[in-house]
Structure formats: C-alpha cells, structure tokens
Chains A and B, each alone.
Chain A
Amino acid sequence: MGDRAGWQGLLEAELRAVGRSLEVPPAGDLTVAVRQRLEGRAPGRRYGPALGPLRGRLGWRAALAALAALAALLVVMVATPQGRAAIAHVFRFAGVELRQEPGPARHPGSRASLPGQRGMSLERARRQVSFPILVPAALGRPGEVVVSDRGRVVSLIYRRTPYGLVRLDEFAGHFDQLVFEKFVHLVEVTEVRVNSTRGLWVKGPQELVYITRDGTPAAASARLTTGNTLIWGTWQVAVRLEGNLTRTAALAIADSAH
C-alpha cells in the first residue's frame, strides 16, 4: 500500500509539472465579442467545417496576430470614452488585470504591503518560490528581496539606480491566476515586444492592488505606483517592472533579465 501511495504521489506531481509546461495558444480577448452577442449586435458563432479547416491551417499564430489587433482595437475604443460605466474596460495580461476605473488606493507613499511579506537573501528566495526568479543584469544584484504570500510573489527592490527606486514583482507565469489589479486609463497602455514575447507598457502612475489566492483584493496592498510599468512574462514567470523609467530603459532592463 505504502508503495502504491509513493509512486502515485510522484506520478501526480509529475503530471502537474507537465501541466505547467503544456503549450496552450494565447486566448483571444472576448469581452467585446461576448458583449456584442449579448446585446444582439453580432450573430452567434458556428462550429464545424465552415471555419474549422481554414482556422486549422492558419494555426494559432495567425490567431495571435488577430488577438494583437483586437487588443489594439480595445485600446482605441477606450481612448474615446462613450460615457458608459468604465468598469467594462477590463483587460487581462500575464496575471495582471488592467481596469479603467478609480481604484482603491488614493495616496502615494502609504505604507502598502503584500500579505506575509518577508525580506531575505536572493538565494533563500530562490528556494522558496516555485518559479525561476529573473534578475536584470542591467541593474545588478537587488538591494532588497522580499517574498510574499507564502512564495506566491517575489519582489526585487533597487533603491539606488540611475532611475531612482525600481521594483520588480515576479510570480508564476504559467497559471491564469490573477495576481494584481491595476487601475489605469487604457489609453496609456501600449503593446511591446520583450525578448520576443508580448509585453505591455503602461505609462504614468497607477493604482495597484494585490489579489490574493482566493481572488479577493488585499486592501493593505493598495498603493499608487511610481513612474511607469512594463509587464511581460514567459511560460514560467511573469514580471511587472516599475520605476521612473523611459520605455527604452525599461525594455533594456527587461532584455537583460535572466
């Protein structure tokens, strides 16, 4: 019996690891399409031979291009607000949900904190989180390393850089979990390429709140960010880089992260 429990537990752990490395094409943003369907402005989708083979041949790389176009479209639409409740303008990317509405944080410099945050060495942090920690060579070793919420997030903090305070929050990239919510004007959001993957460049200070494992916002984490933010991710780790950075500087830092 003990033997059975042993191999089974091992096999289950291996299957979970495989699950995190599976190739899953990126999902399209459906908020607009679903809304149009519900408002009766667009016909229903049909499955089957009409679309199937063509889409199959095009593959998901074409779908990705379509997604990029859709994302751009979404941003453009938001740039001309129609006075509708702004809550509809929600965009999710790499564990971060961007929302165009006033957020819960009001004051910069409030002593915001992530749940259970603990400072430690980079080496110890590497042993405590399940994802590889990316360290940007352009900035060198971080002045401070903080692990929060039982290893769900690691933050690298650089206090003295040419750009002032720079902060990287990193978390597992393979899950479709929600880790942060940002409250922004989506007109300030542009798509960029980081190390040949997709990234988002968000200009200007934003209100940021941490979303716990059970999906609720952690009130104590709400704060106004400084400067601009770059968000990107690999299938293993997602990163948000924050600081008083130009876009070029942020991309250079991101490119140097290994």
Chain B
Amino acid sequence: MRSVIDDGEAVARARGGDLDAYAVLVARYTLRAHRAAFLLGAAEEADDVVQEAFVKAFRHLSRFRVGESFGPWLLRIVANETRNVTRSRRRRAALALRLCAAEPGGVAADGPVDKVLAAERQARLLAAVNTLPDNERQVLVCRYFLELSEAETAQVLAWPLGSVKSRTSRALNRLRGLLVPGEQSRVSHG
C-alpha cells in the first residue's frame, strides 16, 4: 500500500534531487501558477513564465522553509517572472481581462433577465478593474481573482502587508467611484 505524497514530503524529496517527486509538485501547481501568471499580465506567455518559474523554484528549493506553504512561495516566483515578461514588453498595453464567453450552461443573451443583468454588471466591474493603475490591479487580482489572503498577497507581490491593505482599500474606493458616479468626489484623492 502506498500513500499519496503531500507537498512537504515532495519538497523534501525534490531537494534531495528527486525529479519524480518534483514532477508531482509541477503537476499539482501548474494550473494555479498558470492562472496567476495569466491574470497578472503574462498573457499568452503564461506557459513560458510558469515553466521558467518551476525551473527556478527547483533551483531555489534550499531557500524554502520547512512548514511553509508551497503555493504562495511558488507564486512569488511566478509573479516575479511575470514582471520580467511585462517589463520586456515595455510600452505594450496592459492585458485587458475578459469574462468567459457564454457557453452551454453559461449565461446566454436570451437567458433569464436577472442573469443577463448580473452578467452586465460583472462586465462593467471588470471594465473598471481594467482601467486601474497597475499596482491596484495587481492587488485586486491577488486578493479576489486568485483568492489569496492579505498575507499571501504580500508574499506573492513582495510588498509590505501595509501596502497590500492600503492599495486594496484605494482600489476598492476607486472602483466604487467608477461604478457609482455620485461617489466620484469622495475618491478623487485616491
């Protein structure tokens, strides 16, 4: 009888050079890492970013602290690689995030009215997110699209926890201003 290996054991074995154990981590975290890279701006280069991040992570496993959680540790490397890619693109426009096109089982244009309204509201909200300054967009991606905690976001973006809190708050205020025009004056200082 053989049991499934958990992250801690896989890291410990990978550190000893066991590539099979590392393959388990690669398989387990590819989707999460890819989603993070894509949403943080790597766009069509997300697969390359993630591959590079996994290679670097393996080489830096000695810096991984026992008991630490592998996900955020890896995502910090992913976020850093993503920055390298977006920096090399320089002035190219930031990636505009999009909602899934309606599919069978999704929200169709002729669906129930409340669903259509909800979809419209989501589209407006996302359009507003797309207009935010880079820092604020990144913090929203981490906190709400990747559903990371404040502490994990601080780790992934390599920011102090205070910056995560203040930028989240500023971003939410700015979004509110964009969605509810009457609130604009209150956030203009943002």
Q: Is A92 interfacial (CB-CB < 8 Å)?
A: yes
Q: Is A30 interfacial (CB-CB < 8 Å)?
A: yes
Which partner residue on chain A sits nearest B42 by CB separation?
A: A47
The answer to whether B121 and A14 touch across the interface, beta carbons within 8 angstroms, is yes
Q: Is A28 interfacial (CB-CB < 8 Å)?
A: yes
Scoring A7, A19, A99, A134 by chain B CB atoms within 10 A of each residue's CB, the highest score goes to A19
Which partner residue on chain A sits nearest B123 by CB separation?
A: A18
Q: Which of B39, B100, B101, B144 is close to A15, meaning CB atoms less than 8 Å apart?
A: B144
B: contact size bracket: 35 or more
Residues 81-132 (chain B) with a chain A CB within 8 angstroms = 84-85, 88-89, 97-101, 103-106, 121-122, 125-126, 129
The answer to whether A103 and B27 touch across the interface, beta carbons within 8 angstroms, is no
Given the complex of chains A and B, what is the CA–CA distance between A196 and B24 in angstroms? 29
Q: Is A162 interfacial (CB-CB < 8 Å)?
A: no
The answer to whether A87 and B20 touch across the interface, beta carbons within 8 angstroms, is yes
Given the complex of chains A and B, what is the CA–CA distance between A102 and B176 in angstroms? 53
The answer to whether B1 and A59 touch across the interface, beta carbons within 8 angstroms, is no
The answer to whether B58 and A15 touch across the interface, beta carbons within 8 angstroms, is no
Given A8-B172, A34-B54, A22 and B145 touching (CB < 8 A)? yes
Q: Is B35 interfacial (CB-CB < 8 Å)?
A: yes
The answer to whether B145 and A19 touch across the interface, beta carbons within 8 angstroms, is yes
Hey, which chain A residues are within 8 Å of B49, CB to CB?
47
Hey, which chain B residues are within 8 Å of A237, CB to CB?
105
CB distance from B150 to the nearest CB of A (A): 12
Hey, which chain A residues are within 8 Å of B33, CB to CB?
27
The answer to whether B27 and A18 touch across the interface, beta carbons within 8 angstroms, is no
Q: Is B146 interfacial (CB-CB < 8 Å)?
A: yes
Of A48-56, A148-156, A245-253, the one touching chain B: A48-56
Given the complex of chains A and B, what is the CA–CA distance between A60 and B37 in angstroms? 14
CB distance from B63 to the nearest CB of A (A): 17
The answer to whether A18 and B46 touch across the interface, beta carbons within 8 angstroms, is no
Hey, which chain B residues are within 8 Å of A236, CB to CB?
105-106
Q: How many residues of chain A get a CB closer than 8 Å to chain B's CBs?
A: 68
Which partner residue on chain B sits nearest A54 by CB separation?
A: B44
Given A44-B52, A92-B30, A63 and B44 touching (CB < 8 A)? yes
The answer to whether A104 and B3 touch across the interface, beta carbons within 8 angstroms, is yes
CB distance from B5 to the nearest CB of A (A): 8
The answer to whether A17 and B104 touch across the interface, beta carbons within 8 angstroms, is no
Hey, which chain A residues are within 8 Å of B172, CB to CB?
8, 11-12
The answer to whether B97 and A22 touch across the interface, beta carbons within 8 angstroms, is yes
Which of A's residues lie within 8 Å of B, judged by CB? 7-8, 11-12, 14-19, 21-25, 27-31, 33-35, 37-39, 44-45, 47-48, 51-52, 55-56, 59-60, 63, 84-85, 87-88, 90-92, 97, 99, 101-104, 106, 132, 134, 176, 178, 181, 195-197, 209, 215-217, 234-237, 258
22 contacting pairs across A/B (C-beta < 8 A): A16-B145, A19-B147, A22-B98, A23-B98, A27-B33, A27-B35, A28-B47, A31-B26, A33-B51, A34-B23, A34-B26, A34-B55, A44-B55, A47-B85, A47-B88, A52-B45, A87-B20, A88-B19, A97-B28, A104-B2, A176-B31, A217-B3
Which 8 pairs show the lowest CB-CB distances between chains A and B?
A: A27-B34, A176-B31, A19-B145, A15-B144, A90-B27, A88-B20, A28-B47, A88-B23
